[in-house]
Amino acid sequence: MVGSGAVLSVWLIEEINMERGYWIKSKPVYTSLKWHEKATSHLVLATGIGGMAVLKLFQQMHPTQPVKVLYGKYGQMDADYSDTLKMVVPEGLHIHKFDDALLTQFQLELRDAQMGLRIYVAGSEGFIWDVVAAAKPFGIQEMEIMKEQADTLARSVYCVHCKTISKYVTTNITACCGCERMLFVRDHFSRNLGAYMGLMVDAESPGELPAIEEIYP
Amino acid sequence: MSTINVKVAAIEAVTPLIKHFTLVHEDGSELPSFSGGSHIVVTMDAEGRTYRNPYSLMGSPTDTQAYHISVRRQESSRGGSLFMHEHVHVGMRLKITHPVNLFSLSKLAHKHILIAGGIGITPFMSQIEDLKRVGADYELHYAFRAYEQAAFVNELEEMCEGHLHCYADSQGERIDLNALLSQQPLGSHVYVCGPSPMVVAVLETARNLGWPENNIHNEEFSSPPVGEPFKVQLAKSDIEIQVPAEMSMLEAIEAAGVKADSLCRGGVCGRCELTVLETDGGIEHHDHYLSDSEKVSCRSIMPCVSRTKGKRLVLDL
Ligand code: FES
């Protein structure tokens, strides 16, 4: 048994629409990384299994322009490509244990960078949008950053009620880490927040919840 | 499109070839406000024909008492600029469109690099007012033939203080685009307005240096080129129109009383796009709107600036 009312209908409609191949425009589409032919330098960021996307980039070629690679050893999935990367990228590779340190270095690099620098990122969606957010103060627009989604499909979920973002949500319904409301994870994505909208699911009949399933492993 | 009736309040010869016109509302009321980089289209009723030419507004966007435009006398082109130079006098009434901005400053930019060639300086004059008001970082690079023929250098020096860089061709001065565009901080945007070769050079240099498309802005300052006369058949209206050498196809269509959409009248906005049903000589695309592959396909034409090389053209209008 599920709840009733307006809130419920949102996710019902969404589920039906998804079945029919409906595509929500705000949902980002990611690509496979590929070098920009025209650039004066390249900056590649990746974590965990995203390291494979970096290796694939270097399979394409070693660009003539200067390249820097910032790699975070630990993504969500257990896959550390540090050793291989060290062999493939002899120069300009920086390995970090924590994403925070990686993002700090990223911003330091941007401070002195000039137009012509192209940015590439591979990792979980959460990591990708952390990078986007870190680049924004430097006047870099989201669409200028090439993005490959690797690693978990877990979503960052923005609670429309208390405005808290819960990170790495793998289920269709989740408890908001700010207000503990049960949120339905929508497909509607905000590029500014780097998160999917979360809407209270049992507003009208508290406690009556649809089955919680892991759909973003 | 709704028009505004204005009166010419003053005319000043800025250089032997450039005249500056001050336009005020016919009834003395305020004109609509605009943002830097906007243009208006001036309708001129010459004997026997109507010209509609776009001109950038170069006054301060905060001044709604008067609009300022500058017109360069273009001997070789069609009559619009000649009409403005020879027939427009103080006190004369003209019709203008509401200002439209197809060359606006990016709000996300951290630094603005403005590059002007000749009369292409005009849109930047209103933009500089905007930039100064918000305290934005900018550089203005202004290239012209010779100091004697360059418009507004003194005004600009005063307005821009240290931000102005001038280049006189007669003294062998050139903008080193590669040097200029390879040393700009992240978040820079480049804007260019001037003759075609200059616009192309700036676009190419910026792209080759890896500037993202979003950071590159251009307003080509070209009036419709003169070409060979040809006939155009409008399939839906079922009429045939003769397009004279010195008239644009859009003007000829309008003169025939057929309603056609337009906005920039300079091949930039895409509003006037028409579907080509038939052509016997290929199309001379002069616009900056269609992609290269669209141009090759000859399925669309921008009648405000483009023509056909052949004798006959059939359009879906
Ligand atoms: S009116 Fe803008 S492209 Fe023709």
Whether the CB of A145 is below 8 Å from some CB of chain B: the reply is no
pLDDT, one tens digit per residue, over B205-218 is 999 999 999 999 98
Ligand 1 and B263: CB distance under 6 A? yes
For residue B264, the ligand 1 atom closest to its alpha carbon is 2
Query: What's the rounded Cα separation, in Å, for the pair B102 and B122?
Result: 14
One-letter amino acid of A8: L
Position A73 in a domain: yes
Name the fold adopted by B3-97: Elongation Factor Tu (Ef-tu); domain 3 (2.40.30)
Domain B3-97 matches domain B230-315 at the CATH topology level: no
pLDDT, one tens digit per residue, over A35-92 is 999 999 999 999 999 999 999 999 999 999 999 999 999 877 778 999 999 999 989 9
Strands (E), A28-143: 41-47, 67-72, 93-96, 117-123
Most confidently modeled range among A196-205, B113-122, B215-224, B246-255: B113-122
Residues A82 and A120 in one domain: yes
User: Can you give the pLDDT at residue B171?
Assistant: 96
Which chain A residues are closer than 8 Å to B112 by Cβ?
A: none
Residues A139 and A84 in one domain: yes
Position A85 in a domain: yes
User: Can you give the pLDDT at residue B238?
Assistant: 92
Residues A75 and A128 in one domain: yes
For residue B102, the ligand 1 atom closest to its alpha carbon is 2
Query: What's the rounded Cα separation, in Å, for the pair B121 and B20?
Result: 13
Question: Looking at domain B230-315, which CATH architecture does it have?
Answer: Roll (3.10)
Tokens of B134: 């918000």
Q: Which domain holds residue A143?
A: 41-149
Residues A72 and A162 in one domain: no
- The answer on pLDDT for A166 being more than 90 is yes
Residues B290-298 have a mean pLDDT of 89
Q: How many CA atoms does the CB half-sphere of A186 hold within 13 Å?
A: 24
User: Can you give the pLDDT at residue A3?
Assistant: 40
Using pLDDT thresholds of 50, 70 and 90, give the confidence band for residue A19: low
- The answer on pLDDT for A18 being more than 60 is no
User: Can you give the pLDDT at residue B262?
Assistant: 87
Tokens of B255: 């003169």
Residues A49 and A139 in one domain: yes
Using pLDDT thresholds of 50, 70 and 90, give the confidence band for residue A6: very low
User: Can you give the pLDDT at residue B270?
Assistant: 87
- The answer on pLDDT for B289 being more than 90 is no
Closest CA to A75 of A133, A126, A120: A126
Query: What's the rounded Cα separation, in Å, for the pair B71 and B66?
Result: 16
Position A82 in a domain: yes
Residues A73 and A97 in one domain: yes
The H-or-E segment that residue B200 falls in is helix B196-208
Position A206 in a domain: yes
pLDDT, one tens digit per residue, over A103-144 is 999 999 999 999 999 999 999 999 999 999 999 999 999 999
Position A30 in a domain: no
Residues A185 and A113 in one domain: no
> What is the distance in A from the centroid of ligand 1 to the CA of B224?
11
- The answer on pLDDT for B268 being more than 60 is yes
Using pLDDT thresholds of 50, 70 and 90, give the confidence band for residue B21: very high
Residues A137 and A47 in one domain: yes
Residues A107 and A137 in one domain: yes
Ligand 1 and B264: CB distance under 6 A? yes
Length of chain B in residues, anyone?
317
> What is the distance in A from the centroid of ligand 1 to the CA of B1?
14
Sign of CA dihedral B289, B291, B294, B296: positive
pLDDT, one tens digit per residue, over B271-288 is 999 999 998 888 999 888
Domain count, chain A: 2
User: Can you give the pLDDT at residue B314?
Assistant: 94
The H-or-E segment that residue B53 falls in is strand B49-56
- The answer on pLDDT for B309 being more than 60 is yes
Query: What's the rounded Cα separation, in Å, for the pair B141 and B125?
Result: 12
Ligand 1 and B300: CB distance under 6 A? no
Ligand 1 and B261: CB distance under 6 A? no
Which chain A residues are closer than 8 Å to B214 by Cβ?
A: 141, 143-144
Q: Where among A107, A123, A149 does a domain terminate? A: A149
Position A3 in a domain: no
Residues A109 and A48 in one domain: yes
Q: φ, ψ for residue B245 (rounded to 5)?
A: -60, -40
Q: Which of A41, A114, A115, A146 to mutate to probe the B interface, most B CBs <10 Å?
A: A115
Q: Where among A121, A149, A177 does a domain terminate? A: A149
Query: What's the rounded Cα separation, in Å, for the pair B123 and A26?
Result: 35
For residue B265, the ligand 1 atom closest to its alpha carbon is 1
Using pLDDT thresholds of 50, 70 and 90, give the confidence band for residue A206: confident
Residues A70 and A105 in one domain: yes
> How far are the Cα atoms of A163, A173, A183, B292 from residue A180, in angstroms, in the given order?
12, 12, 9, 54
| CATH number of A49's domain | 3.40.50.80
Residues B12-25 have a mean pLDDT of 95
Query: Domain boundaries in chain B?
Result: 3-97, 111-218, 230-315
User: Can you give the pLDDT at residue B277?
Assistant: 93
Q: Cβ-count burial of B165 within 10 angstroms (0-12 exposed, 13-18 middle, 19+ buried)? A: middle
Tell me the best of B262, B274, B290 to mutate to test the pocket of ligand 1, counting ligand atoms within 8 Å of each CB and taking the most.
B262
**Span of B116-120, B198-202, B287-291, B313-317 with lowest mean pLDDT:** B287-291
Residues in contact with B263: Cβ distance below 8 Å, sequence separation at least 6, in sequence order = B1, B100, B102, B269, B271, B272
- The answer on pLDDT for B311 being more than 60 is yes
CA B195 to chain centre: 10
pLDDT, one tens digit per residue, over B42-92 is 999 887 788 888 899 999 999 999 999 999 998 766 678 889 999 999 999
Which chain B residues are closer than 8 Å to A110 by Cβ?
A: 186
> What is the distance in A from the centroid of ligand 1 to the CA of A179?
53
Tell me the best of B97, B272, B317 to mutate to test the pocket of ligand 1, counting ligand atoms within 8 Å of each CB and taking the most.
B272
For chain A, the average pLDDT equals 88
ipTM of this complex = 0.81
Q: Where among A133, A149, A165 does a domain terminate? A: A149
- The CATH classification of domain B111-218, taken from the options 3.90.1170.40, 3.40.50.80, 3.20.20.70, 1.10.760.10: 3.40.50.80
